[in-house]
Amino acid sequence: MPDRPDTPAPDGNRTADAGLPLLRAAVARLAPVLPMLTELGERFEASGHELALVGGPVRDAFLGRVSPDLDLTTDALPEEILRVVTGWADAHWDIGRDFGTIGLRKGSFVIEITTYRADTYDRTSRKPEVMFGDSLEGDLVRRDFTVNAMAVRLPSLEFVDIHGGLPDLVQQRLMTPSAPEESFADDPLRMMRAARFASQLGFEVAPEVRAAMTERAGTLSIISAERIRDEFTKLLLSPDPRRGLALLVDTGLADVFLPELPALRLELDEHHRHKDVYHHSLIVLEQAIALEGPADGPPESVPGPDLVLRLAALLHDIGKPATRRFEDGGGVSFHHHELVGAKLASKRLKAMRFDKETTKQVARLVELHLRFHGYGDGQWTDSAVRRYVTDAGPLLSRLHRLTRSDCTTRNARKAQRLSRAYDDLEQRIERLAAEEELASVRPELNGNEIAETLGIRPGPVLGEAYDYLLSVRLDDGPIGKDAAREKLLAWWTKRETPA
């Protein structure tokens, strides 16, 4: 990062002459969109209204990045915005009109224009009271952090930084435009955003921001589960989720919406190689992220960032606190923590309003994450390998990565042994898959053939017979239809014969 700009200029703008190189660089990065933005600014100016580029696009220009979406703010009300953009935009929509936002598309650019805001929570409600402001300065002070409270007036391209966002950006610091306790009282979700931006940008929160987060953590409970989930998801999909997760735990915010995570801090890992299960889980998350494939990779590479894998890595051991037992001799056990953890993960993700498929997949991975440890020195039968693959189903690629990530031992020999064992298991899976189309294992008789063989109609009994033949297929591999029919009839005879 460049050196910190000088102290505020006499006009109150904190970017004096020393900040000019940064400004020029930011303008250069915005160059592809400036003609279009200038043209739009001129239309607003001709209509007697102000317009400014604000927030993420301005911040990202200073960070050397190009923001995919453009956020603008204006003193014009939504109906006035529509009058200005109609005939100029290629398309527009007003889904956010009640909140003062009009969306539009111009060429390949997506733009959101929002009326100056002055909304706050009444500090007991889950929903903000939307109020429109009348000045850019009033809008900027309502923003979450100073690095997001910088603006560029249009069409003049005047840079506005009345809250010192650029110096904070240079110092990689998250600070609020107003007093942190007041900012978080207005919108407690901003505390979640602090953790998210810490992970996304690699910034540190200012000490006073951290103190306010700790003091006001409990007020996060007035925010809807859906809004918390969305911020948490963005954090988890960031380049460095550990930084933000640690902030959530240390300030007490995680206690409000994900109490299972801080509960891991006091639970000793059964290998006694980590400070606690909490830190072990964060390491597993980091190692799982390292095993994700490229974003444009094939599905079997688990292209990153992958929400299901990251959630499973973070939550894989949350069943340990409930299952901890102190054994004779000083040992600690966590028997069946994977089963308990799967239920806890499902319950928590439902409470956070994650979709059913994500919840189901994460819980299944948590349930299966210890299965490999029964593999030992490769003594599994082919039947056991088939069951491992069948139980994992479409989650097999993620399970591979989760299992490998769960090895955090500092014992190099043990780590190498586990890695070799899993290499061997994957090779066996590949061999069996090539021989037997393992990913789509089915009984060798279909439902119609089973019904015909046994002379029964579709129903629960047919399902029972199907499950029996599936277990035969998993245990014995391909045996042919005739042999499968013989086994089915023998099973049927035994089933029909009273004990």
Distance CA 204, CA 243 (A): 9
Tell me, yes or no, whether 278 lies in a domain: no
Q: How is 62-116 classified by DSSP, letter by letter?
A: HTT---SEEEEEESS-HHHHHHHHTTTSSEEE-TTGGGTEEEEEETTEEEEEEE-
> What's the confidence (pLDDT) of residue 167?
92
pTM of the entire predicted model? 0.81
Residues 250 and 292 grouped into a single domain:
no
The first and second tokens of residue 363, run together, are: 């819980």
Tell me, yes or no, whether 275 lies in a domain: no
Residues 253 and 241 grouped into a single domain:
yes
Residues 479 and 366 grouped into a single domain:
no
Task: Out of 130, 155, 170, pick the residue that ends a domain.
Answer: 170
Task: Out of 170, 199, 225, pick the residue that ends a domain.
Answer: 170
Tell me, yes or no, whether 272 lies in a domain: no
Tell me, yes or no, whether 263 lies in a domain: no
Predicted confidence (pLDDT) per residue in 43-97, tens digit: 999 999 999 999 999 999 998 887 778 999 999 999 999 999 999 999 999 888 8
Tell me, yes or no, whether 274 lies in a domain: no
% of the chain beyond a pLDDT of 90: 59
Residues 253 and 367 grouped into a single domain:
no
Instruction: Say which CATH number the domain at 105 has.
Output: 3.30.460.10
Predicted confidence (pLDDT) per residue in 113-140, tens digit: 999 987 555 666 656 666 788 899 999 9
Residues 304 and 336 grouped into a single domain:
yes
> What's the confidence (pLDDT) of residue 227?
96
For 153, the enclosing helix (H) or strand (E) is: strand 151-154
Predicted confidence (pLDDT) per residue in 400-454, tens digit: 999 999 988 777 888 888 888 888 888 888 888 776 665 567 888 998 999 999 9
Residues 134 and 4 grouped into a single domain:
yes
Instruction: Say which CATH number the domain at 225 has.
Output: 1.10.110.30
Tell me, yes or no, whether 100 lies in a domain: yes
Whether the per-residue pLDDT at 494 is higher than 80: the answer is yes
Reported in sequence order, the residue ranges of 242-397 that DSSP labels E, i.e. its strands, are 325-326, 332-333
Distance CA 166, CA 148 (A): 10
The number of domains in the chain is 4
Residues 381 and 456 grouped into a single domain:
no
Tell me, yes or no, whether 50 lies in a domain: yes
Residues 335 and 389 grouped into a single domain:
yes
> What's the confidence (pLDDT) of residue 166?
93
Phi/psi-derived region of residue 374, left when phi > 0, alpha when psi is between -120 and 50, beta in every other case: alpha
Predicted confidence (pLDDT) per residue in 202-215, tens digit: 999 999 999 999 99
Tell me, yes or no, whether 132 lies in a domain: yes
Residues 126 and 63 grouped into a single domain:
yes
Residue pair 33/74 in contact by the 8 Å Cβ criterion? no
Residues 198 and 150 grouped into a single domain:
no
User: Residue 247 sits in which domain range?
Assistant: 172-257
Distance CA 405, CA 402 (A): 5
